[in-house]
Amino acid sequence: MKRTIPEIKAWLQAVDTLSPEELQELLTDDRVGVRKLAESYQREQARKQKERERVAKMWQYEQECWSKGLTLVAGVDEAGRGPLAGPVVAAAVILPPTFDATGLNDSKQLSEEMRTVLKQRIEQEALAVGVGIVDAAHIDKYNILQATYHAMRIALSQLTPTPQAILADAVKIPDVDIPQQGIIKGDSLSHSIAAASIIAKTTRDEWMKQAAQTYPAYGFDQHMGYGTPEHLEALRRYGPTPLHRRSFAPVREVIENSGVQGTLFAEGSIR
C-alpha cells in the first residue's frame, strides 16, 4: 500500500538523504503532491550542498597558513567606520580548525538573531578573542583610518596565545610585526575574518544601544550612529553629542551653521 502524502512529508523531514532510486520513485509518482514534495526536497538538498561548499571554501586562507605550520591564525575586521557617532570597533579572532563554521558569514549578511547565536559560539569555541574600541575624540584627532588601525592593534594585543599570522579584511595594519594578508571582501572569504566581523559588529551595536539610554532622542539603538534621515534631523535639532564625530561633514556642518563648537543641547531637553 502506498504511503500517504503526510507520511511521505514526515519521512522526508526525518531522513538525511534519499537514494537515487527512492528520489526517482517520488519524482515519477502519479500524485502531484508527492512530486512537489520530491522537488522541494531536491531544492533543499541543493541549498545544503551549496552551503557546505561555501563553508568549506571559506577555510582556504586559513588552510594555506596551517599548511606552512602557522597554526594560530587571527582574523581581523572592524565595524563602524562610516557612522557619524560612536566608536570604531575592531575584533581579532583565532579559530581552531575544528570550529563549526555552519552559518558563519560576513556580519552584514546575517540577521541580528543569527549574529547573536554565532557570537556565542565564537566566544565559547575560539582559541582567543580580542576587541579594540576607539572613541570619537580619537577619530577626530587622527582620522577614521588611523583610528581603525589603532582599534585593530588593540584587538590583536589582547590575543593569548599570540597569533602567528593575520588575515585582515582589505587592509594591511601598520606597525604590526606579525605576517599578515589583506583580503578584499575577506569577511565573506575567510571564516576567521567573518568571525571577527561578527564580534566587532555585535560589540559595537551593544555599545550604541547603551548610548541610546543616555541620549534617547537620537535613536542610536535604531541606526547605530549612521547618517539616516532620522539621525540627521535629530542632529540638526539638538546638535552633536559628545559621541558625534566632529570631523565628519554632516556633524561639522551643524556646528558651523550654529556657530557653536561644543555640544548644543541641554541634556535634559532631549529626554
Binding-site residue set for a divalent metal cation: 77-78, 169
Residues comprising the binding site? 77-78, 169
What are the cell numbers at 192? 576567521
Q: How far apart are CA 152 and CA 173, in angstroms?
A: 8
Which stretches of 61-148 are assigned E, i.e. beta strand? 73-79, 88-94, 128-134
Neighbours of 226 (CB within 10 A): 15
Handedness of CA 184, 188, 189, 193 (dihedral sign): positive
User: Residue 26 has which C-alpha cell?
Assistant: 517520488
Whether cis (ω within 30° of 0) applies to the bond prior to 163 is no
Triad 234, 240, 246: Cα angle to 5°: 130
Pairing of strands 88-94, 180-183: unpaired
The DSSP string of 31-45 is -HHHHHHHHHHHHHH
Name the strands in the sheet holding 165-169, side by side, starting at the edge strand that comes first in the sequence.
Answer: 128-134, 88-94, 73-79, 165-169, 180-183
CB atoms under 10 Å from CB of 140, counted, come to: 17
Q: Which three cell numbers stand for residue 115?
A: 549574529
Please state, in angstroms and rounded to a whole number, the distance separating the CA atoms of residues 79 and 202.
Answer: 9
